[in-house]
Structure 1
Amino acid sequence: MRLVIRIRHAAHLTTGLALAILFVFPLVWTAWSSVTGPRATGGSGGVGGENYQRLFDYGAGLGTYLVNSAAVAVMTVAGTLFVSVLAGYALARFRFPGRTVLFLATLAIMMVPYPTILIPLYVLLGSLGLQNSLPGLAIVLVMFQLPFALFMMRNSFEAVPRELDEAALVDGCGPLRVLWSVLLPAVVPGMVTVGLFAFLASWNEFIAPLIFLSDGDKFTLPTALAAMRSGNFGAIDYGALQAGIVVSAIPCMILFMLLQRHYVRGFSSGALKG
């Protein structure tokens, strides 16, 4: 019996190690390739940072693209959390006509391929004066994130016992005070999960910025990397592109490692029940 347990344990460790190597290898290879090769070292061999230097000097500058991506990501996360928390609270705790229909209609957005609605959204943002603007792009990305975010937050609130609401109401709290003081601390893992998904989606989004942004100094990092060219014939600068991939991946990795505990709790503590 002990032998069987040891074999299973060894199999689990081997499988986990193999999967870890499978997922980490492309990033390690990209990071290594970004500092090696003739273009990274100026032809001297060894390790060098020429690819990163060209990346920093490309177009409006790497700093501009990072600030644009960060601004869009922050606005997307803030907008997604604000709308999904209020809507999830209302759908989980209040009874009103059309509640189920509204929830299902929001989830139905997930079944629509979002590239098919980019042109109508482009026209709509034009009528609102938000074309070629970072806030307009953030509004579009918030809309794309709402179905999943609303699903998560509704189920997160439903996992909290209603006795907490009733006790707070008896003590004289209003609905908003109940939400702020009682329920929000209990659904932090769900909020972290929603915020992390919104950040990763907005930070790595390529198609929407390509459609809604036309000025080069407003490009986000993925759009700028896709437009990276060098030489007279517009050849792709693969060395600088690999350096850009490394720079783009670092914030995602740091954020995920910092929030991993809350992220896992968001899935394991009943946030997806229902």
Structure 2
Amino acid sequence: MPRILYYLVCSILTILFLFPLAWTLLMTFKTPTEASASPPTFFPRQFTLQSYVRIFSAGIASYLGNSTLVVLITVVVAVVLSMLAGYGFSRFSFPGKNVIFVLILTTLMIPFQSILTPLFLLLHFIGLNNSLVGLALVYITFQLPFSIFMMRNSFESVPRELEEAGLIDGCSTWSLLTRVMMPVVFPGIITVALFAFFATWNEFLAALIFINDTDKYTLPIYLLNLQSGLYGTIDFGALNAGLIITILPSVIIFLLLQRYYINGLVAGAVK
């Protein structure tokens, strides 16, 4: 009986979580008239792909490319820097190591909204305001504290005997990191990359403030403009098609890498 009750509760929760996604997906197959009809219907009376045709005709591909570029820069730089910093904090001793690490972690308590103005002025000073590279630098800055924390814990979970064996075999510090340690902490690297990807792909506020040119907008800003519509009208079919296109990369990447993600979180939690 408890097992039946457990599966029943899980099934109900699954339906509740998947219902909005199913509704959004089915909305993309409706005609504009049916999508904006009141009261709305769950299943479309006539399946059509015109919503996807309209949204690609509106230029969503360029905004998808903008988001992809920002995400790639953020993920690559955040993973490389956090891996090097985490390895340094885990395996090397230097003056003020603990103090510096604590200071890095304290930045997690700073609200992002409270430093938007200084960041805007800083990007303007270095000439990277209204650029995708500057936006990526902002995302990297806010991803690094958590990423360094995760990578430090991942390296700490590796037995030092493994590192000593590599040193006995003649490995240098760099080869020890790349050939011995990186394969072991690979789940932690994937975890850092996933967190950076999700946070950057779905971020809205920074992109709205730091990007002025419409041709440099990321997907969340594009969807906001699409929602505004012309003269207050909203193309619900195209809007939901844009949401599905935005959701798909996150779902696919998470499903492909979820086992590494879970292992990385566990490895980072034991310390």
The answer, yes or no, to whether TM exceeds 0.5 is yes
Normalising by the residue count of structure 1, what TM-score does the alignment of the two structures yield? Answer: 0.91
Matched residue of 1:129: which SS? coil
CA distance in 2, matches of 1:137, 1:221: 14
Is 1:273 matched with 2:270?
A: yes
Q: Matches of 2:61 and 2:213 in 1, distance apart?
A: 16
Give the TM-score of the pair, scaled to structure 2: 0.92
Q: For 1:155-174, what aligned pairs fall within 5 Å after superposition?
A: 155-174=153-172
Post-superposition offset of 1:267:
2.1
Q: Which residue of 2 aligns with 1:54?
A: 54
Distance of aligned partners of 1:10 and 1:216 in 2 relative to their CA distance in 1, 3 Å threshold: same
1:130 aligns with 2:128: yes
Q: Is 2:12 the counterpart of 1:13?
A: no
Shift of 1:179: 0.6
Whether contact under 8 Å (1:72, 1:137) holds in the other structure is yes
Does the 8 Å CA contact 1:109/1:147 hold for their aligned counterparts? yes
Q: Could you tell me the percent identity over the aligned residues?
A: 45
- Residue 240 of structure 2 corresponds to 242
AA aligned opposite 1:35? F
Match of 1:200 among 198, 201, 215: 198
Instruction: Tell me whether 220-229 or 155-164 shows the greater mean CA deviation.
Output: 220-229
The CA deviation at 1:17 is 1.8
Which of 1, 19, 23 aligns to 2:17? It is: 23
Q: Is the 8 A contact 1:40 1:47 kept in 2?
A: no
Q: Give the one of 72, 75, 82 matched to 1:74.
A: 72
In the alignment, is residue 230 of structure 1 matched against residue 229 of structure 2?
yes
**Mapped contact 1:41–1:47 kept (Cα < 8 A):** no
The one-letter amino acid of 1:9's match is R
Cα separation, 2, equivalents of 1:164 and 1:265? 19
Distance 1:150 1:190 in 2: 10
Q: Secondary structure at the match of 2:269?
A: coil
- Alignment correspondent of 2:40: none
Kindly indicate whether the alpha-carbon contact (under 8 Å) linking 1:88 and 1:157 is maintained by their aligned counterparts in 2: yes
Q: Which runs of 5+ in 2 are unaligned?
A: 38-43
Number of aligned positions between the proteins: 264
| Deviations, residues 234-253 of structure 1 (Å, cap 9, x unaligned) | 43333321111111001111
Q: Secondary structure at the match of 1:23?
A: helix
Q: Is the 8 A contact 1:41 1:49 kept in 2?
A: no
Describe the superposition over 1:35-63 as per-residue Cα deviations: whole angstroms up to 9, x where unpaired. 224447899951222322221122xx111
Q: Contact 2:74 / 2:137 at 8 angstroms: preserved in 1? A: yes
Alpha carbons of 1:40 and 1:103: their partners in 2 closer, same or farther (altered >3 Å)? farther
Taking a change above 3 Å as real, the CA distance of residues 258 and 105 of structure 1, as seen in their structure-2 partners, is same
Deviations 1:76-106 (A, max 9, x none): 1001101100000001111111111111111
CA distance in 2, matches of 1:254, 1:40: 29
Query: Is the Cα–Cα contact under 8 Å of residues 32 and 236 in structure 2 kept in the other structure?
Result: no
Go from structure 1 to structure 2 and tell me whether the alpha carbon gap of 1:42 and 1:205 turns closer, same or farther (over 3 Å shift). Answer: closer
Please give the secondary structure, in 1, of the residue aligned with 2:170. Answer: coil
State the distance in 2 between where 1:19 and 1:147 align: 34
2:152 paired residue number:
154
